[in-house]
Amino acid sequence: MKRCILWMLVIQLVIGPIDGLAKIVPKKETEMVTIKEGDTLWELAKTYFNDPVKWPEFNKFNEITDPNLIHPGEKLGIGRKVERVVMERREAESLLVRLKQEKERVRGSLEERDRIIEKAILELKTPLSQDVEDLIIEMKLAIDDLEWMLSEQKSSFAEKEKEILILKKERDELKEKVTLLNSSIDELTKKLSCAEDKTLSQGVEIAELKRENEKLKKEKREIKTFAYFLTAGAIAGLAIAASSD
């Protein structure tokens, strides 16, 4: 038996995990994503929780038999819906990368222009001709244009940074609203439960009052019947007494 178990462990180490030994079962009422090739809980936590160290948070929304063995195609619960926030963050990060690349490209162009100008000045041993002077002026104008473009890029970068801050603020406000909404739902649930209990109690009281009312009606009918017979007996007695006289 021990030898059989040892061989199974060796086979698992060689060919990978056996189907059924490791799986993910998402819990109900949770948003889910599909695991792709190369995904790990560490990277997925970085994407959906903004912190890879928070990968144990997935245990709140899933039953994971082995966190080290997740397979492409499996469904993973991620809790509340965060796709829009993640998408906005990714777009902002991508935009930031593009702006930095454009800034480095413009800076490289300016440095290359400066090197060309310095080399041309050093190589000129004779008085500058008109053509060379015109070329230098043209190059200076081009440098001015590039500096203006760089300034515009900086302004655009600053605007994008403001947009990113606004998006982060909106995300935080959305989180606060969700928290308040959950609190309101819990409070309404409690009130509804109390109202149901009160309604049930009132229903019992109403049924009891109906029974008492029926009992009183019955007693009233019995009293009327008794009074009727009593009156009839009295009249008959008076009649008998009158006839005797």
Residue 102 CA, chain-centre distance (Å), reads 34
> Is 205 within the bounds of a domain?
no
H-run or E-run covering 216: helix 130-244
d(CA 58, CA 82): 14
Question: What's the whole-model pTM score?
Answer: 0.29
Does residue 125 lie in a domain region?
Answer: yes
In a domain, 227, yes or no: no
pLDDT at 71: 92
Give pLDDT tens digits for 120-144.
Answer: 767 655 555 677 678 878 888 888 8
Question: Is residue 41 a part of any domain in this protein?
Answer: yes
Structural domain tally of the chain? 2
CA-to-CA distance for 41 and 96, rounded, in angstroms? 26
Looking at the domain assignment, is residue 241 inside a domain? no
DSSP, res 86 = H
Is 180 a member of any domain? no
- The count of C-alpha atoms lying within 13 angstroms of the C-alpha of 245, restricted to the half-sphere facing its C-beta, is 6
Burial of 64 (0-12, 13-18, 19+ CB in 10 A): buried
Angle between the 83-123 and 130-244 helix axes, to the nearest 10 degrees? 170
Alpha-carbon span 122 to 129, nearest angstrom? 15
Residue 68 is inside which H or E element, if any?
none
Report how far residue 91's alpha carbon sits from residue 164's, in angstroms, rounded to the nearest whole number: 10
What's at 95, amino acid-wise?
L
Domain of residue 56 covers 7-81
Q: Tokens 């997740």 map to which residue?
A: 70
At 196-235, the pLDDT tens digits run 888 888 888 888 888 988 988 888 888 888 888 888 888 8
- What average pLDDT does this structure show over 141-166? 85
The verdict on residue 207 lying in a domain is: no
Boundary-marking domain end, from 173, 192, 220: 173
Are residues 72 and 102 located together in one domain of the fold?
A: no
